[in-house]
Structures are given as structure tokens and as C-alpha cells.
Structure 1
Amino acid sequence: MNDEDEHPLRYALVNELHARPSPRLEAPCTAVFLAIKEPKNAATRDRERDVAHLADLVGRHGAPRPDPEAGHYSAKLGRHRLRWESHTEFVTYTAFSRGLPPRPFDPGVGDIFPRDWQHEAPGKRVAAVMIHVDLLPEDPEAILPRLEEWFAAESLASVWVLDESAVVAGDFRVDPAGWMRFAVFVRPGTASGRIGRIIQRLLELETYRAMSMLGMGRARILTDQMNTLEPQLSEIVQGMADDSRQSETVLHDLLSVATRLESAATQNSFRFGATSAYEAIVRERVAALRETRFMGGQMLTEFMSRRYAPAMRTVKSTERRLAALLDRAERAGELLRTRVDVWRGEQNRELMLRMDRRADLQLRLQHTVEGLSVFAISYYAVGLLGYALGPVAYAIHLDKAVLLALLTPFVIACVWYSMRRIKARLHDDHG
């Protein structure tokens, strides 16, 4: 096949489907996970800093340096297998190791990610997870004492997953060392690929849950802002009925509120959109586990509906409230424009009436001036004719005064007719 016939992105896009396969794990084992995000403008961050931070970690263990353009990386770091992935807003580090520590959820297991190295990260931790993977005893009820010891009973969720091939348990709490704990007990003989998929879905579940909850923080801040702006907007709308208030003052107040609302919408639109997308992923990951109830315990869907769903509803409610306030501000602007247009219409009508009266006066004055002009021009014309025709009157023995009296009506008629012709010609030229 000719390569020229291929779309330039075809192979890159196909390879992207296989770039992040689920790990293949054997029980017992431990997984340690970090998700790091820059606090601001994470989507447009300098990704070279992420790769440099990864290079620092793998360099401490003598592993190959990552490609500067890489979006994912995998290497062996001592007894750990490291997986690194770059996402839109965050990067993730996952370290898998065979076996279990002498003490379950020993914080020392997380030393694969040293404290000083985490402190130098180009961002902050949004998720830190430790997963304890062990074999399920023949009597599944035997794990209940361990779950009671490891997790808080009031928030513990424990379920069968993937057709009862494993039990997943966790309380979604952060322990004193900063890790969120999950325990996975797999039936003997469970395929390594299936174990890897369970672990990956749990990690994604917690990561996207944490990322979606960032919208809750924004919603609380935005709610305080809207609690201040909404009464101001209501006062402005109610004040529009007061004709004593100047439109310029109302417009200034409305622009101030509308600008702050628009700024809030711009600043939070990405976060609210991302929250909605992350929430959808969380629900997909829970559904993909195909959970069923274990020993009468709380299920993940129940935990989510009681603890997680209300937070997401709050975010959506805040987003809708902001959109409603923006609509109200826009409608208030339209009402104000209507009020100004009506006022301008009244002003224009009064102006036109004044102009009509002024034009009428000017027309009357023009007619008066025209009459005076006719007489003035006629006066001077008769005078000139008197000088010109004086000798003629003398020759025909006609009194000069009589001659001027006879010429006066004729001169006036000629002047009047000439001015009418000039006025008609000017009118035709401008018409």
C-alpha cells in the first residue's frame, strides 16, 4: 500500500488506542499511585516540566530517560514497575510491586515516590492511592475482620466485582500518611489481565472523582459571589421603573454587575465542563466493575449516590444559577436599551417638532426677505433706469417722475419673475 494514500494522523491515532494498556498483575501485590496537577491553568501547562520531573525520578534508579515528547512511559525501578501518563490537566504515576508489606498499607511502600521529589513536582497532589491486592480465602467472610480493622465502618463500601471474581473494599478516606486505601481480594486463578483491569479502574475511579470534586470548590466560591451580585441585579431591575433615575447611572450599575458575572462565567466554564466530563467517567468506571453486594455491605453506587452525587448536583445547580443570572442581566440590558430607545424617540419627536416650527419660521422669514428683496432691487433698478432714461424723457417732453412711475410696476414684475426663476432652478439642481 502506498504511504501517500494514508492520512498523516492515521497510525498515530491507532497507536493511541494501545498506548495505555491495563497492567497484568499477579496477587499478592501492591499498587501505589499519584496524580499531580498544577493549581492553575493546568490544561496549558508547560509539559516539559512534567517530563523533567519524571526524568528526575527515573534517574535516581538508573532507568532510561523518557522521550521529551512522550505522553506515557514505563520502566523498571528496582522491584517496582513504574507507569507514567500525561493527561489534559494532570499526570499520573503508578508503581506496582510483587508481594505485600509486613504491615498492611505500610506508608513505607510509598517511598518509591520520595517526599523531596514530590515537593519539587510542578504541581500538587490531587490523588494518592495505595491498593493492597491479596488472594481471597475460601471463605470470603474471613476477610471481614480485616476490613473492619483497615477501614471506617460508616463509610466502608465492599462489593463483588466482575462476576464475583474479586472483592473490592475502601472507605474513600485519607489516612494519616496521606494515602487513600483500597483492598482487593481476588479469587485464586483469576487472570492477571483481569486483576490489572480491576486495579486500573479503581485508580481511574478515584482520580476522576478527585478531579471532578475540584468543581465543588469553585462552586462554593462562585455561590458567595452570586449571593452578592444577585440582590444588586434585582435592585437594578426594580429601579428601572423609576423615571427619576438617570439611564446613565442605571447603565453603569448594570454593566458593573454584568461584567462580574461574565468574568465569573469565563473563569469557571472550563472547570464546570471538566467536572461534568469527569463525573461521567466516574460513573462509567463504577459501571465497568459490574459490582454486586458483598455480605450485605454498602455498594459503590450507594456510596456515590449518598456522598458524591450531591456534590455533583451542587456544581450543576451553581452552573445553572450562573447561567440564569447571565440571562437576567442580558434581559435587563435589553429592557434598559428599550427604555433608552423610548426616551430617545421622545427626544427626537420633540426635536422634530422644534425643527418643524423653526423651518416654518424660516420659511416665513424667507418669504418676507424675498418680498423685501424684490422691492429693494426694484428700487435700485428704477433709480438706475431713471438716470439712464432721463435724457429720453427730456427729449420727448415727458416729466421724469411720470416716466419713473410708469417704469416702476414693470421693473417690480421683472425682478419678481427673475427671482422665481432663480429659486426654481436652485430647487431643481438640489432635487
Structure 2
Amino acid sequence: PLPRIRLPAWVMHLAVRHLGTSREEELAHLRLLAEGADLELEGLAGDFLRLRLGRGLLRWERHTEFSTYTLVQGLPETPLEGDPALWLAVDPLWLRGIPGRTILALELILVPGPVEEGLEVARRWLGPGPMVASLIGREQYGLVATDFRARASGLERIIAVLRPGTTETRAGRVAMRLLEMETYRMMASLGFPVARELLGFLQQAERRLAEITAEIRDRNRADAHLLDELEALAAEVEHLLAEHTSRFGASRAYQALVQERLAELREAPIPGVQTLGEFLNRRFRPAMTTVDSVANRLLALSERIAEATALLRTRVDIALEGQNQAILARIQKGQEMQYRLQRTVEGLSVAAISYYVLGLLGYGFKALKEAGLPLAPEVATGLALPLVVLGVWGFMRRIHRQLFHP
């Protein structure tokens, strides 16, 4: 729920990345605050907690990557540059002990006053130096100004001058939009250092891919070696994609939320002063453009490597298929030669066996002649020659069929 803020008010907002900090650890730290004084614990539901303090209200909200701690209290009469312990509703030591890594610490000062005098009021709070400011609301019921500069306290300061009579609900809505806009801006900016760090790798990887594709075209090196290099490059790129895609996607989502909160403020320009939207376009959008560019280049590089790998693998497969065909052709030719040799051997075997069979028959015919039969051995052997050859040939064919065609 949106807080109801009575003017004038001072709001301190901390955004803390989890980085492994669990919800239970954060709740344990909040209980330390509750145990240190007679505090009322209310609104505990899921990832939202509200602690009503003696001089203000502390809101804790846990998100996917970060948690926010928002302290709302009346505007102190003492100078804000003085000792925070004099006017803070919580112990500064407790604030410094919040688990996680703080990525945003700001104070929002909401004061009632004529919008026409808003710039003068903002200047008194912000001091000399450049600042950005915008009128807000369709009816231009307020003015928001900041210099995006951290004070000695470590807090960035935003001033909101709201027309007298502004309701507590509207003041709370303005505060939440400003706080969320800055929180989401800082979360979106987390992708920029990662993107900037990857620029050097991208340039080297893109250049290496161009060299490999040129070698694929010119056939300067063995395809197997080029394929190994492509696979190594692909593994490195896929590792970076897996490691950083979620960060880049989160930056895009947070950027959209920043633009959404800015649009909800319905800002209008003040002559001679840069608006919040103009500042974001000049400083924030280029960083997000870099994030988008690196994310797109990394994805495109992965796709190009995959295409080059597929092309080279196809060529390797075709070459292997050609080699296999040549091997099969040689094997087939060898089988044909072996078959011919086998047929030749079979023919010689028929002749040799027939020769020995005829020799045996010749001995038999001679024995019959000696026994008194009117038989000429040479004539009988000559007449038996075709029968023996045909018989041996048929016998060999039968054996061949039994061995090779059972």
C-alpha cells in the first residue's frame, strides 16, 4: 500500500541488493530494531513489513534482487547536514548494519509551498550548482528538483515542493514514484559495467570469427582444426550468454519501469532548467543503449558462430561421405577381383580334379583290358573326359552354392 505522508516530511530510502542475503536474515535485522525499543509490529505479510516508530514509519519491502528500507518522518528542525543521530528515528548503527550491498541511499524532502517559488525553495535545499527540475501533475501541483549528487552523509537529495492543501495520499504517491524511479534506475544501471567489460571480448571474438570464416572460404587450414576453434569460441560465448543474459534482461525491465514512473509524474518543463526526463535521456539512456547493443551483439555472435559451425560441419560431413564412398568403391572393386580370382581358381580346380579322376579311370580301363575285356584304355579315357569334366564342374558348383548361398 502507498504511504500517507503529512507535509512537511523527510523520507530516507535505501535500496540494498541481496547478494545471497536471505529473507530470514533481513527479518532478523528488523527484529533487532523492534527489540531495541517499544515498537509496534504491523502489516507483516509475505515480503512486506511496516514498523511504526515513535517519530515515524519504517517500510521494508523485499523484491527479487533487492530490498528497500524507507523511513518516513517529520521534517527535522535541525540542519540535515548535522549529526543524523539528532533527528533520525532509528539508530544510524542499525542502518549501517543492514545486510546486503547498498546501491542507493537518498533523502526525499517534501515541503508545502507555492509552486511558483519552488525553484527558490529547491535551491535553498540543494545549494549552488547545476540541478534538474520539473513541474509535475496535469494541474502542475508540484515541483521536483535534484542535483543527483551525494551529500557528506552519503545521501542523494531530492526536493519536492507541493502546493498547499496537497493530500497525504497524493504526497505519498509522489514520493513512491520518485523513490521507485531512482531505485529502478540504479538497478537498471547494474548491467552497464557488465556490458562495458564485454565490449573488448566482443571485438576480439567477432574479429576471430571473421578470420575463421575467411579460412573456411579459402580452405587454408584443415576443416577439423577450424571446427575445433569454432566449438571453443562457441563454448565461451554460450558461457557468457548464460552468465549475463539474465542481467541484461533485468536491466531492460528496470529501464521500462523507470520510464513508466517518469511518465506517471506527468512532468512539464521549466524554462531554462533541464527536466528529469531530459537528464535521463542524456545520461541514463546511452548506458541502456550500450547494454542493449552488447546483449544483441552477444546473441548475434552466438547465432553467427552456430551458422558457421553448421556450414563447416556440413562440409566436413560431405568430405567424410566422399571418403567413405571411395573406400566402399575400393572394397567393391577388391571384392570383384576376389570373385574373379575365385572363379579362376575354381576353373583350375575343375581341370586338376578332372585330370586326376581321368588318371584313375585310365588305370581302371587298363586293368579291365588286362582282364580280357575287349577295351582300348585310351579310347575309353577320351570318351570319359567330357563326362568327368561336367561331373566335377557340377560338384564344384554345388559346393559353391552351399557355402555362399545356403
TM-score, normalised with respect to structure 2: 0.89
Specify which of 27, 38, 63 is matched with residue 18 of structure 2.
38
Q: 1:25 aligns to what? A: 5
Q: Which moved more, 1:100-109 or 1:59-68?
A: 59-68
CA distance 1:425–1:79, change in 2 (3 Å) = same
**Structure 2: distance between partners of 1:176 and 1:243:** 64
Specify which of 212, 216, 224 is matched with residue 240 of structure 1.
216
1:62 Cα offset (Å): 4.3
**Unaligned residue ranges in structure 2 (runs of 5+):** none
- Does 1:158 pair with 2:134? yes
CA distance 1:119–1:414, change in 2 (3 Å) = farther
Q: Which moved more, 1:144-153 or 1:46-55?
A: 144-153
- Does 1:229 pair with 2:209? no
- Preserved contact between residue 55 and residue 66 of structure 1 (Cα < 8 Å): no
**Structure 2: distance between partners of 1:106 and 1:401:** 143
**Unaligned residue ranges in structure 1 (runs of 5+):** 1-20
CA distance 1:113–1:394, change in 2 (3 Å) = farther
CA distance 1:383–1:310, change in 2 (3 Å) = same
CA distance 1:165–1:69, change in 2 (3 Å) = closer
1:175 Cα offset (Å): 2.2
Q: 2:347 aligns to what? A: 371
- Preserved contact between residue 81 and residue 153 of structure 2 (Cα < 8 Å): no
CA-to-aligned-CA distance 1:180-217 (integer Å, 9 cap, x gap): 11111111111111110000111100000000000111
**Structure 1: distance between partners of 2:128 and 2:367:** 137
1:348-427 equivalence runs, <5 A = 348-382=324-358, 395=371, 396-398=373-375, 400=377, 402-424=379-401
CA-to-aligned-CA distance 1:282-317 (integer Å, 9 cap, x gap): 111001111122354222211111111111111111
**Structure 1: distance between partners of 2:352 and 2:43:** 102
- Does 1:275 pair with 2:251? yes
Percent identical pairs in the alignment equals: 37
2:209 maps to a residue whose letter is: L
- Preserved contact between residue 293 and residue 299 of structure 1 (Cα < 8 Å): yes
- Preserved contact between residue 160 and residue 294 of structure 1 (Cα < 8 Å): no
Helix, strand or coil at the partner of 1:292? coil
- Preserved contact between residue 35 and residue 90 of structure 1 (Cα < 8 Å): yes
Q: 2:107 aligns to what? A: 130
Aligned length: 404
Q: 2:35 aligns to what? A: 59
- What is the RMSD computed on CA atoms of the aligned residues? 2.9
- Does 1:205 pair with 2:185? no
**Structure 1: distance between partners of 2:171 and 2:327:** 84
1:405 Cα offset (Å): 4.0
1:123 maps to a residue whose letter is: G
- Preserved contact between residue 51 and residue 68 of structure 1 (Cα < 8 Å): no
**Structure 2: distance between partners of 1:355 and 1:52:** 78
2:256 maps to a residue whose letter is: A
CA-to-aligned-CA distance 1:49-71 (integer Å, 9 cap, x gap): 23223333333334367999831
Helix, strand or coil at the partner of 2:145? strand
**Structure 2: distance between partners of 1:297 and 1:239:** 57
CA-to-aligned-CA distance 1:54-96 (integer Å, 9 cap, x gap): 3333333343679998311011123121111110101111111
Specify which of 303, 325, 328 is matched with residue 279 of structure 2.
303
- Preserved contact between residue 142 and residue 160 of structure 2 (Cα < 8 Å): yes
CA distance 1:312–1:199, change in 2 (3 Å) = same
- Does 1:108 pair with 2:84? yes
CA-to-aligned-CA distance 1:114-158 (integer Å, 9 cap, x gap): 554455443200111101111114x72264264265156434233
CA distance 1:357–1:187, change in 2 (3 Å) = same
CA-to-aligned-CA distance 1:248-267 (integer Å, 9 cap, x gap): 22122112211111111111
- Preserved contact between residue 365 and residue 375 of structure 2 (Cα < 8 Å): no
Q: 1:252 aligns to what? A: 228
1:104 Cα offset (Å): 4.2
